C-alpha cells in the first residue's frame, strides 16, 4: 500500500517549525520595509515567536509523519525545549549586544529562528537524509551569524573557518550515509536497525561509513580530535552567537547520534567500534580541561570547557539505554542554562569586540555589578559540577549511568578531569570577587533583556539543582518511549 | 515540629533576606545576621531537649522523597555522634558574627551571608542521613569558605583559598565515585536503589572493593581533618583566613572529616578499617608529634595555633581508629573541645591582631600588664587546649589515651608526648606574649578588649569549665550510639550481612565495546 505523502495532522506536527519559519519571514519583511521599526521590535518579536513555538508544542501529536521520516515523540519535545530555551536566551543577550555594537537588524533573529528549525529537523528526522537536511539549514544560518559582525576581521575569520571545516564535515556525513546506503540499502533508522540486527560488522565498508559519520558529527560536537575549530570560532563570533553555537547544535547532533547508535546497538555488541568513541570521550575530557587551564581569554576558555563537557555527555552514550538518553537530555538542558549564562555575562563586557575578552575584564565584577557577578559565579559552580546546582545533578546522572553500564574506568577518568576543571572555573570566581579591576576597565553595561536572561539561567540552574524530579520524570519517560519502539 | 529542618533552613532564609538589604546599612546587616544566628542557636536548644538519651539510632528523624527515581531522600536525623557537633556549629556562628562586628569593613553584607550559608551547610552535613544529601552539604560548605578566605583574608589569601578548595574537592569527588558505587552494591544485593546511610550499613562489599572504597572515602576525610601528610593546606588557609573564617574552619569544618570517619568509613568498610587501622593510627600519631613540633618553632601566633590543630585532630583520629567505647567517646568530646578552645584561641589572636596588625611572638611581651582581662581569657583558653584537669581538654584527651592504651599501647604512649609538647609550645606562647617586661613601646597603650569580643568569649569559657567539671552531660547522650557503632564494626567485620555477588558489580545491562 502506498502511503499518502502527507498524513493527517501533519500541520499540527510541525506547527512549532511553521511558527519559526513564518516568523523569520515576517522579521525579514519588517526589516525590508522599515529598518527603523525592525531595529526596535525585532528582538522582542523574536522572543515572542520562540515562546509561541514553545507553546505550539502543546498542539503537536506524537507519531511519524512525511512517509515515516519525521517523528514527534517525548524525546523530540524535550530536545525542542532545549533548542528553544537556547534560542530565547541567546536572543535576549543578542538584543542589547547588537544594539551596542551597532549591528542590530532583523536578519539576525530570522537566522537564529531558522537555525532552530534546522535543529528541530535534526532531532526529529528518522531518515539520515532528513538529519542532513536539518544540519545544512542549521549550518548555513551559523555561517552567516558567525560573520554577522562583518566589519570585524575576527568575526569574518570565525565564519570562514567554520564554513571551510563545516563543509568538510558535512561531506563526511554525506559520504558516510552513502556508504551506509550501499551496504545496508537504507538511510532510514528502521532499515539500519533491521540490517544491523544480523550484521556482524565485518564488512569494511560499514566501518569506513561509521568512522566518516563519527568524524562529521564529531566536528559538529567539537569532540576531540575534531575540536580545534571551536576556540577560534567562539572567540571571533559575536558573543551571543558563540553562546548559542556552543550549546544548541551540540544538543541537536547528540539526539541524531542517539537515534543512530540505538539503531546500531546490536552491531556495537559484536565489534569494538564503541572503543573509538570511548577514546574520543576521554581525549575530549583531557584536552578540553587541560587546555582550558592556560586560557585567559574567557571565550576560548569556555570553548575548551565545552569540549570537555561534550566528552562527559559522550560517556553516557557509550551504552544507549533509556537512562543514558535521559541523562544526556538533562545535561543538554542544564548545559544550555549554564553555558549561555556564562557567555551572556561575557557579552555584556563593554569592550572592543575585536580584542580578546580576558579574565582581567571581569575582575571585581562581583562587587561592581553584583547581579552579573553572582550569575557568572553560579554558572561557573554549575559548570564545575558543584552542588546544589543543576551541573552537579546532571553530571551525577552521567557518571551514575556510566558506572551502571559498566564503563567504570571512563567514568573514573571523567571524575578526575572534573577535579582538574574546578581549578579554572574557580579562577573565574577568583577574578570576580577577589581581584580589583584594573584602571580603565569599563564597568559592564546593564540591560533589561540581559538581566532577564541571566535571571532565567540562575533560576533554572538552582531549580534543576534542588528539585530535579519533574525533569527526571519527563526525560525518563521520553527516553523510555524513544527506545521502546 | 520538624526541628532539624527549622535549624537547617533558618540561616538560609536569613541569608536570602539579607540579600535584599541595602549595601550601606552596615550595622543593620550585622545585627540581622547576628540575630538570625542567635535565633538558630536558641532553636537548636530544642534539639537537645527533644533528644532522648539512651537511644542509639537516629532521632527526630524527618523524611521526604527528594529524587525518588534514585532512592534519594531528604532525610534528616540526629544521634549521639552528631548531636554536639550540631550544637557546636550553631554556637560558633553567632560567636563569629559577634566577634567580627568591628573587624569587617569590606563588603559586610557578603560576609554575613557567607557565614549564614556556611552554617546551614555544616548543620546539613551533621544531620543528613542520606548519603547524597550529606555529600551535597559537604560540598556546599566549600563555596562560602572559599569566598571568606579569598575575599576577606590576608595578603596571600588567593593562593590559600584555591589550595583549600582544590585539596578538599579532589578528595570529595573521589568519594562521590565511591558513594555511587556503594549505592549500586546495595541495589545489586537488594534490588532497590537507596542512599540512606543506615540502609547502606548492611551492604557487605567484597574485600578488594572494600579496600579501594575505604581509601577513596578516607582520602576525602583525611584531607578534611587534616591527617599528616595531607595537612599542608591547613596552615595556609588558617593564616590567610580572617579570624571568623579560622574559627569556623578549625571549630567545625575539620570535624566534618572526623565525623565522616565515624559515620561512614567505619561502618561501611569494617574489615578494611580494621585491616588498615594501623596505617591511620600511625599517620595520626605522626601528625600529633609532627604538628606539635612544628607549632613549637612557629614565630607566628596564628600559625602556631593552626599547627596545634593538626596535633589535636590527630588525637581525634587516633581515638576513632582505636575503636573502643572510651576512645571514640573521647574522640567525639575532643572534637567539641577543640572547637571551643581552638576557636577561642583564634578569636583572641584575631583580637590582638586587630589592634597591632602583627601576629609575631617577638613583637609582644608583657601584654598581661596592659590587657589583663584579655590575658585572663587567653590563658584559660590555652589551659583548656593544653588539657589542664578541670577544663574540657583534659577529659577528651584522657579518654582517648586511656581507650587507645587498651588496644594500641605503643601509639598511645607516643601520642601522650603530644600532650606534653602541647603544654610546652602553648605555655611558651603565653610566656612570650603575656609575661616579662613590655619590650615594645607600642604595646603599652593597646585598646582593651571590646564588649563584643568578651561577649563572644563568655559562652566558650562557660562550656570549657562545664565539660571539664561535669562531662557526663555531654558523654551520656553519646554512649548508646557509640556502642552501636562499635557493634556494627566488630560484628560486620567478621560476617557481612548482605554480600553482593562478586560478579554483580561487573554486570551491566548492555555492556558494549568492553570499555570498562
A354 inside domain: yes
What mean pLDDT comes out for the span A111-139? 93
CB spacing of A392 vs B139 below 8 angstroms: yes
Inform me whether the pLDDT recorded for B498 exceeds 70: no
Inform me whether the pLDDT recorded for A152 exceeds 90: no
What mean pLDDT comes out for the span B119-146? 91
Tell me: the pLDDT tens digits for B143-184?
A: 899 988 888 887 888 888 888 888 888 888 888 888 888 888
| Mean pLDDT for all residues in chain A | 88
| pLDDT tier for residue A473 given thresholds of 50, 70 and 90 | confident
- The residues of B whose Cβ lies within 8 A of any Cβ of A are 65-70, 107, 132, 135-137, 139-140, 142-143, 146-147, 150-151, 157-158, 161-162, 165-166, 169-170, 173-174, 176-177, 180-181, 184, 506-516
3-state class of A331 per DSSP? helix
Residue A272 with chain B: CB contacts under 8 Å = 513-514
A2 inside domain: no
pTM listed for this prediction: 0.88
Per-residue pLDDT at B506: 37
Tell me: the pLDDT tens digits for A369-424?
A: 888 999 999 999 999 988 889 999 999 899 888 888 888 889 889 988 988 898 89
Provide the 8-state DSSP code for A186: -
Inform me whether the pLDDT recorded for B140 exceeds 60: yes
**Percentage of chain B modeled with pLDDT above 90:** 24
- Count Cβ atoms below 10 Å from residue B217 Cβ, excluding itself: 25
Positions of E strands within B184-247: 203-204
A1 inside domain: no
Tell me: the pLDDT tens digits for A300-334?
A: 999 999 999 999 999 988 888 888 899 999 999 99
| pLDDT tier for residue A3 given thresholds of 50, 70 and 90 | low
Cα–Cα distance between B313 and A263 in angstroms, integer? 57
The parent domain of residue A209 ranges over 10-484
- Number of domains, chain A: 1
CB B431 within 8 A of CB B355: no
Q: Out of B65, B158, B174, whose CB is closest to A415?
A: B174
CB spacing of A278 vs B166 below 8 angstroms: no
Tell me: the pLDDT tens digits for B314-329?
A: 999 999 998 888 899 9
Per-residue pLDDT at B512: 34
Q: Out of B143, B509, B516, whose CB is closest to A409?
A: B516
Ranges of each domain in chain B = 3-498
Cα–Cα distance between B37 and B208 in angstroms, integer? 46
Per-residue pLDDT at A485: 58
Inform me whether the pLDDT recorded for B42 exceeds 80: yes
Inform me whether the pLDDT recorded for B433 exceeds 90: no
| Mean pLDDT for all residues in chain B | 85
Tell me: the pLDDT tens digits for B183-202?
A: 888 888 888 888 888 877 77
**Which span out of B81-90, B449-458, B472-481 was modeled with the highest average pLDDT?**
B81-90
Q: In 3D, which of B368, B460, B450 has the Cα closest to residue B99?
A: B450
What mean pLDDT comes out for the span A99-107? 85
| pLDDT tier for residue A4 given thresholds of 50, 70 and 90 | low
Per-residue pLDDT at B516: 32
A317 inside domain: yes
A152 inside domain: yes
CA angle A223, A228, A232 (to 5 degrees): 125
Cα–Cα distance between B306 and B289 in angstroms, integer? 14
Between residues B444 and A183, which one has the greater pLDDT? A183
Tell me: the pLDDT tens digits for A214-248?
A: 999 999 999 988 998 999 999 989 999 999 999 99
Cα–Cα distance between A387 and B425 in angstroms, integer? 40
A3 inside domain: no
Between residues A22 and B510, which one has the greater pLDDT? A22
- Helix then strand then coil, in percent of chain A rounded to 5, is 80, 0, 20
Per-residue pLDDT at B504: 40
Q: What is the ipTM of this complex?
A: 0.85
Inform me whether the pLDDT recorded for A462 exceeds 80: yes
What mean pLDDT comes out for the span B252-276? 88
Residues A97/A100/A106/A110 CA torsion (nearest 10 deg)? -10
In whole angstroms, how far apart are CA B448 and each of A161, A205, B103, B352, B444?
69, 86, 15, 9, 11
CB spacing of A396 vs B176 below 8 angstroms: yes
Amino acid at each position: 500500500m502506498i502511503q499518502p505523502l502527507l498524513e493527517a495532522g501533519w500541520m499540527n506536527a510541525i506547527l512549532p517549525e511553521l511558527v519559526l519559519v513564518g516568523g523569520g519571514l515576517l522579521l525579514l519583511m519588517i526589516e525590508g520595509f522599515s529598518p527603523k521599526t525592525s531595529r526596535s521590535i525585532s528582538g522582542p518579536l523574536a522572543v515572542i515567536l520562540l515562546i509561541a513555538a514553545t507553546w505550539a508544542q502543546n498542539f503537536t501529536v506524537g507519531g511519524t509523519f512525511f512517509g515515516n521520516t519525521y517523528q514527534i515523540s517525548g524525546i523530540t519535545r524535550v530536545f525542542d525545549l532545549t533548542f528553544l530555551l537556547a534560542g530565547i536566551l541567546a536572543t535576549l543577550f543578542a538584543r542589547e549586544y547588537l544594539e551596542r555594537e551597532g549591528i542590530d537588524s532583523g536578519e539576525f533573529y530570522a537566522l537564529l529562528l531558522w537555525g532552530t528549525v534546522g535543529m528541530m529537523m535534526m532531532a526529529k528526522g528518522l531518515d539520515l537524509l532528513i538529519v542532513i537536511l536539518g544540519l545544512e539549514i542549521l549550518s548555513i544560518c551559523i555561517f552567516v551569524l558567525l560573520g554577522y559582525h562583518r566589519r570585524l576581521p575576527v568575526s569574518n575569520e570565525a565564519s570562514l573557518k567554520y564554513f571551510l571545516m563545516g563543509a568538510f564535515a558535512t561531506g563526511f556525513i554525506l559520504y558516510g550515509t552513502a556508504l551506509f546506503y550501499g551496504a545496508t540499502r537504507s538511510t532510514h533508522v528502521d532499515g539500519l536497525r533491521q540490517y544491523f540486527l544480523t550484521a556482524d560488522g565485518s564488512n569494511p565498508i560499514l566501518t569506513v561509513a561509521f568512522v566518516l559519520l563519527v568524524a562529521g558529527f564529531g566536528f559538529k560536537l567539537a569532540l576531540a580530535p575534531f575540536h580545534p575549530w571551536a576556540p577560534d570560532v567562539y572567540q571571533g563570533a559575536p558573543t551571543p552567537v558563540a553562546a548559542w553555537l556552543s550549546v544548541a547544535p551540540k544538543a541537536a547532533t547528540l539526539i541524531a547520534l542517539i537515534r543512530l547508535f540505538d539503531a546500531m546497538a546490536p552491531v556495537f555488541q559484536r565489534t569494538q567500534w564503541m572503543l573509538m568513541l570511548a577514546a574520543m570521550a576521554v581525549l575530549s575530557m583531557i584536552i578540553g580541561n587541560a587546555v582550558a587551564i592556560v586560557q585567559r581569554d574567557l571565550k576560548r576558555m569556555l570553548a575548551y570547557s565545552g569540549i570537555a563537557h561534550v566528552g562527559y555527555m559522550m560517556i553516557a552514550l557509550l551504552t544507549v539505554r533509556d537512562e543514558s538518553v535521559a541523562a544526556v537530555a538533562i545535561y543538554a538542558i542544564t548545559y544550555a542554562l549554564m553555558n549561555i549564562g556564562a557567555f551572556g555575562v561575557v557579552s555584556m563586557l563593554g569592550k572592543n569586540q575585536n580584542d580578546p575578552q580576558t579574565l582581567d575584564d571581569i575582575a571585581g565584577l562581583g562587587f561592581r555589578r553584583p547581579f552579573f557577578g553572582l550569575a557568572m559565579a553560579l554558572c561557573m559552580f554549575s559548570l564545575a559540577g558543584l552542588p546544589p546546582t543543576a551541573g552537579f545533578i546532571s553530571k551525577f546522572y552521567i557518571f551514575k549511568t556510566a558506572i551502571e553500564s559498566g564503563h567504570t574506568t571512563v567514568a573514573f577518568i571523567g571524575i578526575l578531569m572534573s577535579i582538574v576543571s574546578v581549578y579554572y572555573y574557580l579562577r573565574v570566581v577568583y577574578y570576580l570577587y577577589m581581584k580589583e579591576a584594573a584602571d580603565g576597565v569599563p564597568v559592564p553595561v546593564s540591560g533589561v533583556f540581559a538581566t532577564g536572561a541571566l535571571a532565567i539561567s540562575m533560576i533554572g540552574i538552582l531549580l534543576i539543582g534542588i528539585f530535579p524530579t519533574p525533569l527526571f520524570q519527563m526525560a525518563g519517560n521520553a527516553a523510555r518511549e524513544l527506545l521502546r519502539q | 515540629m520538624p526541628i532539624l529542618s527549622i535549624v537547617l533552613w533558618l540561616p538560609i532564609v536569613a541569608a536570602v533576606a539579607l540579600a535584599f538589604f541595602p549595601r550601606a546599612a552596615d550595622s543593620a546587616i550585622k545585627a540581622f545576621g547576628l540575630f538570625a544566628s542567635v535565633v538558630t542557636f536558641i532553636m537548636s536548644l530544642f534539639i537537645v531537649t527533644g533528644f532522648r538519651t539512651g537511644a542509639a539510632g537516629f532521632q527526630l528523624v524527618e523524611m521526604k522523597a527528594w529524587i525518588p527515581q534514585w532512592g534519594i531522600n531528604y532525610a534528616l536525623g540526629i544521634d549521639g555522634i552528631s548531636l554536639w557537633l550540631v550544637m557546636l556549629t550553631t554556637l560558633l556562628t553567632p560567636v563569629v558574627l559577634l566577634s567580627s562586628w568591628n573587624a569587617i569593613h569590606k563588603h559586610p553584607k557578603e560576609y554575613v551571608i557567607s557565614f549564614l550559608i556556611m552554617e546551614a551547610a555544616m548543620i546539613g552535613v551533621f544531620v543528613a542521613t542520606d548519603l547524597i544529601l550529606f555529600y551535597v552539604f559537604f560540598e556546599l560548605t566549600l563555596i562560602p569558605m572559599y569566598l571568606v578566605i579569598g575575599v576577606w583574608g590576608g595578603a596571600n589569601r588567593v593562593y590559600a583559598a584555591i589550595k583549600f578548595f582544590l585539596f578538599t574537592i579532589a578528595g570529595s569527588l573521589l568519594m562521590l565515585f565511591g558513594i555511587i558505587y556503594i549505592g549500586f552494591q546495595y541495589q545489586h544485593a537488594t534490588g532497590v536503589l537507596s542512599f540512606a546511610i543506615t540502609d547502606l550499613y548492611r551492604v557487605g562489599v567484597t574485600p578488594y572493593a572494600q579496600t579501594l572504597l575505604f581509601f577513596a572515602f578516607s582520602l576525602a576525610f583525611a584531607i578534611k581533618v587534616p591527617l599528616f601528610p595531607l595537612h599542608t593546606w591547613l596552615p595556609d588557609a588558617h593564616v590567610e583566613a580572617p579570624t571568623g573564617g579560622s574559627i569556623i574552619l578549625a571549630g567545625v569544618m575539620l570535624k566534618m572529616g572526623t565525623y565522616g570517619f565515624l559515620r561512614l568509613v567505619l561502618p561501611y568498610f569494617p574489615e578494611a578499617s580494621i585491616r588498615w587501622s594501623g596505617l591511620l593510627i600511625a599517620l595520626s600519631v605522626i601528625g600529633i608529634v609532627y604538628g606539635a613540633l612544628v607549632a613549637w618553632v612557629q614565630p607566628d601566633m596564628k600559625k602556631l595555633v593552626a599547627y596545634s590543630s593538626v596535633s589535636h585532630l590527630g588525637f581525634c583520629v587516633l581515638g576513632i581508629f582505636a575503636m573502643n567505647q572510651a576512645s571514640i567517646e573521647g574522640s567525639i568530646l575532643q572534637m567539641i573541645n577543640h572547637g571551643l578552645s581552638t576557636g577561642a584561641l583564634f578569636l583572641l589572636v584575631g583580637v590582638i591582631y586587630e589592634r597591632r596588625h602583627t601576629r609575631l611572638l617577638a613583637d609582644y611581651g608583657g601584654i598581661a600588664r596592659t590587657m589583663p582581662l584579655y590575658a585572663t581569657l587567653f590563658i584559660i583558653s590555652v589551659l583548656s587546649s593544653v588539657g589542664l584537669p578541670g577544663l574540657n581538654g583534659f577529659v577528651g584527651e584522657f579518654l582517648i589515651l586511656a581507650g587507645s592504651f587498651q588496644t594500641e599501647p605503643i601509639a598511645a604512649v607516643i601520642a601522650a608526648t603530644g600532650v606534653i609538647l602541647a603544654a610546652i609550645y602553648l605555655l611558651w606562647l603565653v610566656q612570650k606574649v603575656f609575661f616579662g617586661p613590655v619590650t615594645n613601646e607600642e604595646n603599652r597603650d593597646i585598646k582593651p578588649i571590646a564588649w563584643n569580643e568578651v561577649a563572644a568569649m563568655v559562652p566558650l569559657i562557660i562550656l570549657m569549665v562545664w565539660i571539664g567539671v561535669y562531662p557526663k552531660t555531654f558523654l551520656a547522650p553519646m554512649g548508646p550510639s557509640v556502642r552501636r557503632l562499635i557493634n556494627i564494626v566488630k560484628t560486620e567485620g567478621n560476617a557481612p550481612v548482605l554480600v553482593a555477588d562478586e560478579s554483580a558489580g561487573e554486570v551491566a545491562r548492555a555492556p558494549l565495546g568492553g570499555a570498562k
